[in-house]
Amino acid sequence: MKTKILKFSMIFVATFALVLTSCSSDDDGGPTCNDQIMNGTETGVDCGGSCTACTAEPTCDDQIMNGDETGVDCGGSCNACVESVDLTGDITEDTTLDPAIEYTLSGAASVQSGVTLTIPAGTTITADAASGDETSTYIVVQKGGMIDIQGTESAPVVMTSNNETPGDWGGLVILGDATTTKGTDATAEVGEFLYGGANDTDNSGSISYLIINYAGAQINPESQYNGLTLYAVGSGTTIDNVALLNGTDDGVEFFGGTVSASNFYLENNQDDAIDWTEGWNGTLTNAYVLHTAAGFSTAVEADGDNGNPSLVNLTALSTQGGTALQFKKESGATITGLSLSGYETILDFRDGGAVSNVQIEGVDADVDELYANIATVDPNSFAWATGETVGVSTILTGNVSADLTLDASVAYELQGTLSVQSGATLTIPAGTTITADVQAAGATSTYIVVQKGGMIDIQGSAAAPVVMTSNGETPGDWGGLVIAGNATTTKGTDATAEVGNIIYGGSDDTDNSGSISYLIINYAGAQINSESQYNGLTLYAVGSGTTIDNVAMLNGADDGVEFFGGTVSASNFYLENNQDDAIDWTEGWNGTLTNAYVLHTVAGFSTAVEADGDNNMPTLANLTVLSTEGGTALQFKKESGATITGLSVSGYETVLDFRDGGAVSNVQIDGADADVDALYANIATVDFNSFAWATGETVGTSAILTGNVSADLTLDPSVAYELQGTLSVQSGVTLTIPAGTTITADVQAAGATSTYIVVQKGGMIDIQGTDAAPVIMTSNGENPGDWGGLVIAGNATTTKGTDATAEVGNIIYGGSDDTDNSGSIDYLIINYAGAQINSESQYNGLTLYAVGSGTTISNVALLNGADDGVEFFGGTVSASNFYMENNQDDAIDWTEGWNGTLTNAYVLHTEAGFSTAVEADGDNNMPTLANLTCVSTQGGTALQFKKESGAAITGLSLDGYTTNVDFRDGGATTNVTVDGVTIDTGAAYDAAATVDVAMFGWATN
């Protein structure tokens, strides 16, 4: 952008020069109205006077020299005209330039001995060399002269060319009095300049914030100028913040001397970015070299005797291959903080020089080493020179050889392998995103690895997780995160991984490779070879001293996580749509994984869990796996095994797969040998909500209920529960349902017959509804028969004996404990139950199998069922305050010898086709109905007694039935008493209602 502004200024000055020249030539050819000159009687250029009137009043921006202007739109009452001054020639006295003046350079400007040239911030000098004069166009500070360049970050000094072509001019040359191997008063290759002496503290001035562009003019067939040429410049000279751009030769070259410099940016210099010879022995600190144009020579070339200069923090990056560092003859250097990326040749020793001449990070240079460390110089610091908005993206590649902390405000691009070396720690703060660049280095070579002895510290949070992803957003784009530790593995010590020759394994089971918290890894699983792929997170022999918590592995082409031996434990893992195995281990891993949730919604995956190799009995504590695509849940190969507690499996075709003849006893599930015939369809033991930080979904408003409740569980009334299939409360377990909870049967999920809630014999339910907030069990279809309602199996007596089998679900019920307690129910609404079991049977709204008197049931509404409202199968349970409306078979039904009491029951029939208000069947244990009011608007039968069944009824009120009392199968009327006397089959029993329907407003409103 700055270059374009300068070009515009040059056009402006040229226009001004044209006007001045034209004004001085009025008498050539005579005045005309189209000669582009204000002459004759004109008051403007070709207008006014004897010419056509000017089209506008004179202004300071009409591009006409008019009014009192002395130039086009300048001078007079307008702004001062821009001055242009040519600096060419000898500068023989102290001179300070003016940043308001545009300086040109048409030849050599030479600062003589004893003279200082001061160039303030914001000054621009533009080389304007005629064709063929480039060699003679440069700025030189002679030996004994000084230059003071006072640029700032916001207003650098700029030296450039008007043609904007590399090689336009000769750049800046400084000649000093320090030592050089060429001796005193050596002659430079251009201009016969003299340089060199004995004063190593020589001061040739200071340079701060200088940009030199398009230098490198040809001197002779063998030589060119550099951007900045330093001949024997001494240590008293200060040089800081210099950018050397687009030169045809070197960016900077040191010819001997002792000067040090810092903060150099060198971009696309066609020979060497940095060059030295003649024994330079200063220090260059923080140099960034960039090559994006092909054909350059090197990033660094060193020649001649070795003065052992120092390079402190040198980052060189090429997108065009080439050579990074070249050392000729006996030259050398001490280099620290070296980062090289993209070069084909890293170190090139010419002329037989010893590699020991070059010390890199304290040791001899290694010609086989890549030195691909992460950048040690931040290109952001040179935004003042590049004009780019740098810093929004930074490339990660190479070795991290010293502790490094990333910046969460920077969008990092991973280009190739980022390797955290032994002894170094990579810290990644909360909110950092690293995006693998799919095109930069190829998927197989693009991954992050923490080498054995290195550490990683991922500091994500629920609000700001660390994200590792890819720009292609396709499974298999990159290799994920690999950590190599020093713990034990069946592969022994210093095993070699299948990728990158990564070494892992040792004898320290407490090895610490760092910590990971709140990390998302997406789109990993790149192909390594025809047999292998990367995982999202790969843990080679990682030890128990490492902490790993809250990790999400998403959309991987291979495993989500794989443990290769080691002892590391981890917790709170979310694994979604990893195409091979969600969780995999081998080589004897024996840590613990706590709270893992696996989700498969894309077909073609392998397993939720694959275990292979020797069995060191790792532990999985709370594992929930859910598939909408079938597939295999758990697969164990060879002798592998595990101890698993809190297992919940849903939607898989194969639950357990033992390959290679491994014993099922190797796998312990909830304290027993694995059972290949068991479904392990327990209710989820890991809350999907807890991973909202990774999924980005608004979870928690809806949760699925299905499977076995194997541990005490309390629902949350703020969650809308969906019943998908059977929810079974196991023996010894209590399901607590607080006031205000709603459970909605999903009609489509598993089929009506399989969708119900059952409390198994020995289990308990605690429904804690209130008048203001009842518990509701309903269906999303809102049709009678949508689902199977609530079934409770108890241990009380029944005429079917002990351990009878119910007509659905192989539910076992009945025993000898008439005081059995299956829990408590208060303020419960059951709607749309009565699903078909078989051609002869349906579910009821509330089914009570051998439930004992220790169970308390009160305030229950049974609405719109396709079969009975409530049915008692034996047992001794009593209940009260029942409201039953439009149940299509019987509102109240009992059989198998029930002998409890039902108090305050109200039955309402407003739809035709029902069977009865009350049906009693089987042997007569004389249950009691205390206050029974039944109302029908559709006729029908009120009370029906089959076989020898009977009851003691008090407070009976019947209204609207065609048949009030019906005895089937020859049972004796004496089996039934109403208010203490034998029932009268001809009586109307039409007394006023004994139960006030208003008491059920909590259910009917």
pLDDT band at 448 (very low <50, low <70, confident <90, very high): very high
DSSP structure string for 970-989: T--GGGEEETTEE--TT---
Predicted pLDDT at 53: 67
- Mapped onto helix, strand or coil, the DSSP state of residue 994 is coil
Separation CA 793–CA 797 (nearest Å): 11
- Given the DSSP bridges, would you call strands 404-405 and 425-429 parallel, antiparallel or unpaired? parallel
- Per-residue pLDDT at 4: 25
pTM: 0.68
Q: In the prediction, which pLDDT does 392 show? A: 40
Return the pLDDT at 17. Answer: 29
Residue 572 sits at φ, ψ, to 5 deg, of 60, 65
Q: Give yes or no for residue 746 having a pLDDT over 50.
A: yes
**pLDDT value, residue 31:** 67
Token couple for 344:
């084909």
Residue 23 has pLDDT above 50, yes or no: no
CA distance 101 to 82: 7
List % helix, strand, coil for the chain (3-state, nearest 5): 5, 40, 50
Which pLDDT score is estimated for 700?
Answer: 47
**pLDDT tier at 707, thresholds 50, 70, 90:** confident
pLDDT (average), residues 736-747: 96
pLDDT value for 231? 98
What number of H helices and E strands is found in the chain?
A: 6, 79
> How many CB atoms sit inside 10 A of residue 87's CB?
19
Domain boundaries, the chain: 1-82, 84-288, 392-673, 701-1003
pLDDT tens across 845-867, in order? 999 999 999 999 999 999 999 99
259-307 pLDDT per residue, tens: 999 999 999 999 999 999 999 999 999 999 999 999 999 999 999 888 8
The band of 56, judged by pLDDT with boundaries at 50, 70 and 90, is low
pLDDT score, position 821: 98
pLDDT digits (tens, 9 = 90+) for 103-161: 999 999 999 999 999 999 999 999 997 777 788 899 999 999 999 999 999 999 999 99
Rg of the chain over Cα atoms, rounded to whole angstroms, equals 45
Contacts of 33 (CB under 8 A, 6+ apart): 42, 46, 47, 50, 51, 52
